[in-house]
Amino acid sequence: MAWQIVKRADRNNLGMCLNTFQIAAGEFGDPTTNTGLIENIDRAELESSWRASLRELTQTVYPEKIFLLQISDAYKVNPPMPKSKDAQGEGPMSKWSNAYRALPFDGGYLPVQNVLRAVLDTRFRGWLSIEVYDSSERLEHTDVDAFAKTAKRTLENMLLFS
């Protein structure tokens, strides 16, 4: 949908900020299931749909219209989150996005490396950023400099293995 708007508007200063978590979580993951995956279709169909979606991204999105790629993974939620919204009206996808995003290669499970590869296959060579929202106690006392160095190594490894 966003790509159709950007393409139709056809403005030099209008593009997209893509996000590995948002793409993978929206099309592959589900924090309300035991597997952490979308379960209303069988696994083979889910994987086939996922590959087709990434192929479509690679074949249709113009690299100059990707302004930024934000990178994060997600932890599998155990036990799974309830499917309903909480008393504040926040649903499971919002909670998952705001509190369970990990650095890739650090406990997450979504196929975010596939998203990076698809975006790079468009010939995008722009800005990458790390976007981690981790409410776990292990980050409460994290040294910011050390975390930044780890994030840099994560990006280097993701690019190396893409």
Domains of the chain: 2-160 (3.20.20.150)
Reply yes or no on whether the pLDDT at 143 is more than 90: no
How many helices (H) and strands (E) the chain has is answered by 6, 5
Work out the pLDDT band at 128, boundaries 50, 70, 90: very high
CB 129 within 8 Å of CB 70: yes
CB-count burial class (<10 Å; 0-12, 13-18, 19+) for 121: middle
- pLDDT tens by residue, 52-97: 999 999 999 999 999 999 999 999 999 999 999 999 999 999 999 9
As a whole-number percent, the residues of the chain with pLDDT over 70 amount to 96
pLDDT of residue 144: 83
Contacts of 60 (CB under 8 A, 6+ apart): 3
